[in-house]
Amino acid sequence: MPETIIAFDLYGTLLSTESIATELANLYGNEKAKTLAARARTLQLEYTWRSNSMNRYQSFSNVTRWSFRQATAELGLDLGPAEEERVMKAYNGLDTFPDADAGLGILATKKEAESVSAYVFSNGDPSMLASSMSTCPALANASSVLPAAKVISVEPLRVFKPHPSVYDYLVGVAGKKDSPGDVWLVSSNPFDVCGAVAAGLRSAWVDRAGRGWLDGLANGTGNNPTMVFQADAAPKHRHVRLHHHRHVRLTTTATSVTWRALEIYQHQQQSTEHQHQARTRIMCGIHAAISQNVPSPISGTLEANLRCRGPDHLGSLTISLLDNDGHLCVALTSTVLALRGNHTTAQPLLDQDSGSALCWNGEAWRIHGQPVTGNDGEFVLSKLVAASSHSQEAILNTLRAIEGPFAFVFVDKRNKILYYGRDRLGRRSLLVKLESPFQLSSISDASTTGWLEVEADGCYSISLTSNSFLSTVEPSRHDWDNNAELISALGIFNATVPKGLDRLTENAEAVGTLKNHLLQSLQYRVQGIPVPPGVNEPQVSVAVLFSGGLDCTVLARLTHELLPKDDQIDLLNVAFENPRIAAQHKDLDPEKLFELCPDRMTGRQSFAELIKSCPERTWRFVAVNVPYNDTTFHRNTVVSLIYPHNTEMDLSIAFALYFAARGQGLAQTSIDAEPVPYSTEARVLLSGLGADELFGGYSRHGIAFERKGYEGLIEELRLDVGRLGKRNLGRDDRAMSHWGREVRFPFLDERLVKWAIELPVWQKCDFGNDADGEKGVEAAKRILRLLARDLGLQAVSMAKKRAIQFGARTAKMESGRTKGTTLIGA
């Protein structure tokens, strides 16, 4: 595993510049000491920036002296030579923050830190740094972690942070010129972390003031820190807290700013190939750009977003094609999240003989009805290359035969054709930009416009000849199936209207068949998931996006039947601080406010029922509490991820999925257990999406039946299932995959969908019988409710449908009058 570099800023990050106030108090009294220390620090930073601007470098030691001279003069205090030397001696012996002590100790002792190399990276000149490193007890004791060779001063460059050259210098000294993303800068100085991000590094900002990230320039230019942590500013307060959990306090003996940054990095942002996994699977970020004469480079923002989706590997290649009209370049980029096969396969995939290449994002569970074992991307490429020697129709038939969620770009170099598309249900994201240069990408660079969702209505192709790209490209579309009667290109909807019917019961054949289909679907999606890179003995491979509702709880219960008994299952339940609701409960503790969210209440009820029905399984309920300032902090990121979707409803739904997929919260493995901070190891998330469309779970289905009987209900269901491929699954994929996890939809397995389409309507939602139904089970999604009852989930079988944005309270945060169709920012 390649080495991760964590470079610590010194002054204000590891060392408290305010700790000099003790010596200043001896000289000027307590009342003036803190004011003087703060003013001198402000001037010190100002002087470094002015020096950079004027190209007039002076040593940091001189800058520090001059800042105290001006600060004392402003306050009317005397600073003679003797007093100045006492101040400088004190500055060279500043105290560390307690979380720095703990963090450096962890880096020195934790086995997981063996792949991490720590550095000090400072504006301080070498003599100042040497003095601080030797006189501060905590830093002196950390010499095994921070030897002199790893204490870096910017002085050789004769510029200060945040000049771009200093970060390039750090990357070079650390031996990471080719992989600056492996370098993290940890700093409490906003200008420092922004400079690092602008130079291609990652950064963690330590918020010691507790005000949150407010930097307007960074927000405007997109140079925000990779992550933000809150920590108490005063050395005497031995507490630190992660910004994502505003109301959680963690003692530094258990965790620290340093170690939390490392843990989250290892969990979410591992950008390396791991060659020893038992089984892997490729879920990727993919990008393609077609240009004339020279390759079109991918933007830094796009590459960073793709890395989030596929943190295990980033690769690229360029395919050149010549014709009588010129030279065409197809530049391909892929990032990989490894989840199947016996090794991590670098992408893009290249067939050496034909020169054809494939960018593959998704799963091919079956091809031509046969299960795919090993690495499915390699298998798909081999089938496409073989088909390319026959005809275009052979290639299209190979693509049509794939069962599973996917998006792809295939360059058939032999025939000079590029193919791209999404599976017929649109479960993976793919965007297209038709103007020059023509681009395809899993995610957009939201700073540019013109991106469109690739429709899931077929496969698309483009002739790779130079004259095809002289103006806006017009791709050719090829239907997934030539039978126009097929719904979602899978089956013919059963439109039979019943004439007198029996009540659907638990013993009905359809209930047992649904269970079998779900178990088969889940087998592909939850079994054989490999050990995540960087995790020795994972306890959790699967997490469920868990509102406590019918669909997700049935999935959790059936997953229990497929996983080994010692595997734990995480239940991710998200709740938001909604200012409008908070205003109605001003006297309520913020933690209690989260517990009032509808999805939190049903989630805890269903958690209890799962424990009761399956006591031998360890279920972990993860309460993902999202303070309002977290929502606003991540807003720009989420808006960028869901683009080109841009309505308030898109945003409110995406917020819930984005934070749930992050998987960080307070965890309990029993009802009465004390909640503990937790971040899930699971890289696979299960979603119950699709059940409402297939089995009549929306209120509009009941309304359609009331108005027009079974004919109206059938038409509404037919429209819903037919729109599955046009739904917002691409948007949801982009929001959740940002955290290096893959969401899977067991209800949207092709075989299950086909069976449900062809099932008579009264065996899905029994609106023809009274609402009391079988033992009180309501009509909407009755087949699924009866399955829940058969599985021992009595209370869950009665659960009401609730939209995620209302259950988690992400809707209408600022104004109750906001409409879902309102454009973001309008």
Q: Report the CATH number that the domain containing residue 72 is assigned in CATH.
A: 1.10.150.240
Q: Find tokens 């229990």 and name the residue.
A: 560
pLDDT at 242: 32
Given 215, 236, 269, which residue is the final one in a domain?
269
Task: Check whether residue 325 and residue 402 sit in a common domain.
Answer: yes
Task: Check whether residue 531 and residue 469 sit in a common domain.
Answer: no
Closest CA to 552 of 804, 782, 811: 804
Other beta carbons less than 10 A from residue 318's beta carbon = 16
Phi, psi dihedrals of residue 313, rounded to the nearest 5° = -165, 145
pLDDT at 477: 96
Q: Considering the chain, what is the average pLDDT of its residues?
A: 84
- Tokens representing residue 8 in the block: 């610590």
Give the angle subtended at the CA of 631 by the CAs of 195 and 804, to the nearest 5°. 140
Comparing 557 with 801, the larger pLDDT belongs to: 557
Other beta carbons less than 10 A from residue 794's beta carbon = 15
Residue 826 lies in a domain: no
Query: Looking at the predicted structure, is the pLDDT value of residue 244 above 90?
Result: no
pLDDT at 813: 58
pLDDT band at 240 (very low <50, low <70, confident <90, very high): very low
Task: Check whether residue 9 and residue 45 sit in a common domain.
Answer: no
Q: Report the CATH number that the domain containing residue 288 is assigned in CATH.
A: 3.60.20.10
Alpha helices in 368-420 (DSSP H): 376-388, 392-400
pLDDT in tens, 478-499: 999 877 777 777 888 999 988 7
pLDDT band at 537 (very low <50, low <70, confident <90, very high): low
β-sheet bridge partners, residue 287 = 333, 441
pLDDT at 248: 28
pLDDT band at 251 (very low <50, low <70, confident <90, very high): very low
Comparing 450 with 244, the larger pLDDT belongs to: 450
pLDDT at 283: 65
pLDDT in tens, 751-770: 999 999 999 999 999 888 76
Task: Check whether residue 407 and residue 338 sit in a common domain.
Answer: yes
Task: Check whether residue 188 and residue 154 sit in a common domain.
Answer: yes
Q: Report the CATH number that the domain containing residue 144 is assigned in CATH.
A: 3.40.50.1000
Task: Check whether residue 588 and residue 725 sit in a common domain.
Answer: yes
Give the pLDDT mean for 613-634: 93
Query: Looking at the predicted structure, is the pLDDT value of residue 278 above 50?
Result: no
pLDDT at 445: 81
Residues 6+ apart with CB under 8 A from 510: 504, 759, 763, 764, 783
Highest mean pLDDT among 54-63, 491-500, 535-544: 54-63
Give the pLDDT mean for 470-477: 81
d(CA 605, CA 208): 38
Lowest mean pLDDT among 28-37, 526-535, 808-817: 808-817
Query: Looking at the predicted structure, is the pLDDT value of residue 274 above 50?
Result: no
β-sheet bridge partners, residue 823 = 647
Q: In the chain, what percentage of residues exceed pLDDT 70? A: 84
Query: Looking at the predicted structure, is the pLDDT value of residue 419 above 90?
Result: yes
Lowest mean pLDDT among 28-32, 237-241, 548-552, 644-648: 237-241
Residues 6+ apart with CB under 8 A from 191: 45, 49, 161, 162
Q: How far is CA 678 from CA 107, 572, 664, in A?
A: 20, 11, 6
3-state SS, 581-622, equals: HHHHCCCCCHHHHHHCCHHHHHHHHHHHHHHHHCCCCCEEEE
pLDDT at 818: 63
Residue 553 lies in a domain: yes
Residue 812 lies in a domain: no
Query: Looking at the predicted structure, is the pLDDT value of residue 281 above 70?
Result: no
pLDDT in tens, 397-414: 999 999 999 999 999 999
Strands 406-412 and 357-362: antiparallel
Q: Helix, strand or coil for residue 666?
A: strand
pLDDT in tens, 217-229: 876 676 788 777 7
Task: Give pairs for 226-230: CB < 8 Å, separation 24+.
Answer: 226/184, 226/197, 226/202, 226/269, 227/203, 227/261, 227/264, 228/204, 228/633, 229/204, 229/205, 229/257, 229/260, 229/261
Closest CA to 267 of 460, 157, 112, 406: 112
Residue 818 lies in a domain: no
Closest CA to 631 of 209, 229, 243: 243
Give the pLDDT mean for 310-337: 85
Q: Where are the beta strands (DSSP E) in 113-220?
A: 116-122, 151-153, 183-187, 202-207
Residue 501 lies in a domain: no
Task: Check whether residue 127 and residue 75 sit in a common domain.
Answer: no
Given 66, 93, 120, which residue is the final one in a domain?
93
pLDDT band at 774 (very low <50, low <70, confident <90, very high): low
Closest CA to 284 of 377, 361, 374: 361
Residue 640 lies in a domain: yes
Q: Report the CATH number that the domain containing residue 777 is assigned in CATH.
A: 3.40.50.620
pLDDT in tens, 576-610: 988 877 777 777 777 788 998 999 999 999 999 99
Residue 497 lies in a domain: no
Give the pLDDT mean for 18-29: 88
Q: Helix, strand or coil for residue 101?
A: helix
Structural domain harbouring 663: 510-807
Query: Looking at the predicted structure, is the pLDDT value of residue 236 above 80?
Result: no
pLDDT at 713: 94
CA within 13 Å, CB half, 232: 15
Closest CA to 677 of 205, 254, 146, 142: 254
Query: Looking at the predicted structure, is the pLDDT value of residue 111 above 90?
Result: no
d(CA 190, CA 167): 15
Task: Check whether residue 23 and residue 4 sit in a common domain.
Answer: no
Q: How far is CA 414 from CA 287, 319, 353, 378, in A?
A: 21, 12, 10, 18
Catalytic machinery residues: 284
Q: Helix, strand or coil for residue 28?
A: helix
Task: Check whether residue 157 and residue 89 sit in a common domain.
Answer: no
Task: Check whether residue 418 and residue 339 sit in a common domain.
Answer: yes
Count up the domains in the chain and report the number. Answer: 4
d(CA 667, CA 428): 30
d(CA 180, CA 538): 28
- Tokens representing residue 52 in the block: 């950079």
- Tokens representing residue 41 in the block: 């620090």
Task: Check whether residue 706 and residue 612 sit in a common domain.
Answer: yes
Residue 489 lies in a domain: no
Given 479, 495, 524, which residue is the final one in a domain?
479
pLDDT at 816: 55
> In the chain, how long is the greatest CA-to-CA distance?
103
d(CA 551, CA 797): 10
Task: Check whether residue 9 and residue 35 sit in a common domain.
Answer: no
pLDDT at 536: 57
pLDDT at 429: 96
d(CA 539, CA 22): 48
d(CA 182, CA 463): 39
